[in-house]
Amino acid sequence: TINGLFSIQNNDQVVENMAFKGSNVVCIVELNETILAIEWVPHYSISEGTSINTELKKSEDGLIFTKIHEFSNIVVDAIVPADDGVYLTASSSGIYYSGDLINWSVPVGFSSLPDVLSFIIDPNNKKVMFIGSENSILKSTDTGKTVNSLKEGFNIDTLLFNCVLCSGDIVLTGTNYGVMKKNEKGQFFVVGLSDENINCLIEFNSKIYVGSNNDVFVQINNEWKPLGINKHIYALAKSDKSLFVGSSSGVYRVDNVGFVRVGEGQVQGNIFSLYVSGEKIFAGTDFSEDGGLFVSGDTGETWEKIPGTPGTDITSIFSDQQELFIGTWVLGLLYSEDGGLVWEEKNNDLGNLNITGIKYNFSSGIMYCTTSFGIYFSSNKGEEWKPLGSVLSSSRILDLSICSDTIIVASWDGLFQWKKNVFSAECEELSVFLHWDEFPDTAKVSGYEIYRSAQNDTEWELIKEFDAGNNNYLDNNVQNGVNYYYFVKSFDDKTPPNYFVSNMISVVPHIDTAPPEITVSSPSNHSTIGTNLVVLTGTVTDESGIDKVIVNGSEVSLSSNGSFSKTINLIKGINTITIIATDKKGNTATKTISVTYTPSAQETIITLQPDNSYMTVNSVSKEIDPGRGTKPVIIPEWSRTVVPIRAIVEALGGTISWESETRKVTINFETTTIELWIDNPRARVNGTMVYIDSDNHNVKPIIVNDRTMLPLRFVAESLGCIVSWDNDTRTITIAYGG
């Protein structure tokens, strides 16, 4: 019989040699690096028979324990460490406290407790303590001085979960013992209204509202305050501006001011369901002469009864434009496509079950129906229904909340979590890696079976069987280019076993042997060029991705869409351009084009180098700045070259002028006029202001050693020239051809 489990970190030797072998040890804890243990010790007497005392022992290393206190004729069940001492619980004697492990006393509030079955201290507020007995939960907020019943007659067997709300990482549930919240360990604890039966939960204006058998409560500064409606609350729904309350006496509207009864004299009785769709508010009532389905288009001020609604309790509503769904207590799910004029059943495979709720997931298109006999879902708005899981098939489901790929379910049999089973596959050439999530009925799973079919054949092959705990498989027995289908089944240990089947997936293993595809946009193959510079542009694509592209022996950079460009210096006559592309699988493609360079009579070729005061114009050497020795300069901060531009402009046939008052340079060439200002990163080209360098707004004309230096590339390209840079020779080439 295992009464408890205890772990000592990084001390296997202690665990192997732990004392008390063969003894009746009921509890061990670690307190301030000391191990405490409780041992029941029988005492034999000829006259009195057998009595059981409890000995409290401690050890520094878990090997040798010494007795520090003995409780005569008291059976102690557990040790509960506190910050300033230790509590001991005894099912027949109550709770004891000691600050030194030697002297023990019973706190005043614990002196008349019923049988104590469990005891816990709130980790966030050590003054708060909870005591569990057979029929009640008790609470102390003053370290045991006073103890009060959390709720008279509380019994875990009578705990009913009526509703659930998932908001981000917070999960709340409404029960017949108040509101409970899920903590980081997945446990639920009461956070308020323990004397209330909670029927519905909603978040509105960043506050939590709950409806109980008596009122609507709102949580403000961790306190629950009643609104004062003082009615039995069945339903809550919200619009952008207002909260609507369905009560035992009509509909109420709540806003920042307060609450008001709306639709009085029009919609009466028990309002079992509410739904807000755009500007419309729907209300469903109980089965009565004046009851039915009502709609309001003016925030609840006036209501109109929808004709033709079957006479029954309307427990839930969903509306999507003209489509209307209502869940009923007797007739199942009903549907109208014309706003409620004509109704039809949507109970295919669902049956006339008592519907307790309708939820629709707009992101997945899945509709869920909670019923008095489990949960059903439909991917086609009720044309077909399937049960969701088998665990809840006989449970009375009251509510569910959709949290991403998880569904939290509130039922009278407990609170359940359901996660969608996802079966996925990834291909790595001739292998298929299969992965599936744990099945929703994990507690019952004994193992898994994987089935495969080729080309969607009707014959399915069992390829692998696993024990529970495995959810990955690598299938290496596949062929290139064959479309394989897979699904996985879990099974339990019954005879015959029960099976739970995953989704089916399709995958095609494929070895990439195809070379990349090269497309050249410009220049055209076998074209004739009038200048010695040409810009080669194109794209390279491949399913596995491109590793590198080489043009005439030099690697070029690629953009994210596979495009590339490179400026090529042509020689007179026929030039061959070779592009070689290699994909990430090592497949290579080569494309060659031919371009003929025929110099134009008006062509001008200028070459110059940084730190060289001479340039060549059509192979004739000239000073860049005659008589002054001024050289082109690369500005390191910009990675751009500036030059005294006059000789270059005039070599092309243009003119240049200087205006000292505004420090403006004006360049005229054929139909182009460029205006630049010293220290101004913007220039005017044919009347339009532009940045000299759109990628670097620091680039601008400057004065160096009393000489005006202009950004070379901007000026040359604005005049229609092609500019190229040869990194090996550090040569700038400017080409202009008529």
Cα–Cα separations (whole angstroms), residue 133 to 95, 137, 195: 12, 6, 18
Other beta carbons within 10 Å of 453: 17
* Each residue's pLDDT tens digit, 672-696: 999 999 999 999 999 999 999 988 8
Long-range contact pairs involving 719-728 (C-beta distance under 8 Å, separation at least 24): 719/649, 719/652, 719/654, 719/667, 719/669, 719/672, 719/674, 720/670, 720/672, 721/652, 722/531, 722/533, 722/535, 722/567, 724/533, 724/567, 724/569, 726/569
At residue 679, the 3 state secondary structure works out as coil
Sequence-separated (6 or more) residues with CB below 8 Å from residue 346? 325, 332, 333, 334, 335, 381, 382, 383
At residue 664, the 3 state secondary structure works out as strand
Cα–Cα separations (whole angstroms), residue 592 to 338, 418, 518, 528: 66, 60, 10, 16
Sequence-separated (6 or more) residues with CB below 8 Å from residue 125? none
Cα end-to-end span (Å), the chain: 100
At residue 276, the 3 state secondary structure works out as strand
Gap between the Cα atoms of 318 and 307, Å rounded: 17
Gap between the Cα atoms of 391 and 469, Å rounded: 20
Structure tokens belonging to residue 40: 């029941």
At residue 59, the 3 state secondary structure works out as strand
Vertex 211 angle, CA 207 and 214, to 5°: 130
In this predicted structure, what is the pLDDT of residue 583?
93
The kind and range of the H/E element at 141 are: none
Gap between the Cα atoms of 408 and 390, Å rounded: 15
- Are the C-beta atoms of residues 689 and 677 closer than 8 Å to each other? no
- Are the C-beta atoms of residues 252 and 262 closer than 8 Å to each other? yes
- Provide DSSP, 198-239: EEEEEEETTEEEEEESS-EEEEETTEEEE-S--S-EEEEEE-
Backbone angles phi and psi of 12, in degrees to 5: -60, -35
Question: Which of left, alpha, beta for 586 (phi over 0: left; psi -120 to 50: alpha)?
Answer: left
In this predicted structure, what is the pLDDT of residue 15?
43
Sequence-separated (6 or more) residues with CB below 8 Å from residue 220? 207
In this predicted structure, what is the pLDDT of residue 702?
92
pTM beyond 0.75: the answer is no
The residue written with tokens 């707004």 in the block is 697
Other beta carbons within 10 Å of 731: 16
Other beta carbons within 10 Å of 142: 13
Question: Which of left, alpha, beta for 364 (phi over 0: left; psi -120 to 50: alpha)?
Answer: alpha
Compute the chain's Rg from CA coordinates: 41
DSSP-derived secondary structure letter, 355: E
* Low-confidence spans in the chain with pLDDT less than 70: 1-23, 43-51, 91-92, 114, 134-136, 150-157, 184-187, 349-352, 389-394, 404-405, 419-422, 438-444, 456-458, 496, 498-500, 503, 600-601, 738
In this predicted structure, what is the pLDDT of residue 14?
44
Burial class (CB within 10 angstroms; exposed 0-12, middle 13-18, buried 19+) of 84: exposed
The kind and range of the H/E element at 174 are: strand 170-175
Return the amino acid letter for 648.
I
Sequence-separated (6 or more) residues with CB below 8 Å from residue 423? 434, 435, 436, 437, 486, 487, 488, 502, 503, 504, 505
Question: Which of left, alpha, beta for 176 (phi over 0: left; psi -120 to 50: alpha)?
Answer: alpha
The kind and range of the H/E element at 130 are: strand 129-132
In this predicted structure, what is the pLDDT of residue 139?
84
Gap between the Cα atoms of 530 and 551, Å rounded: 21
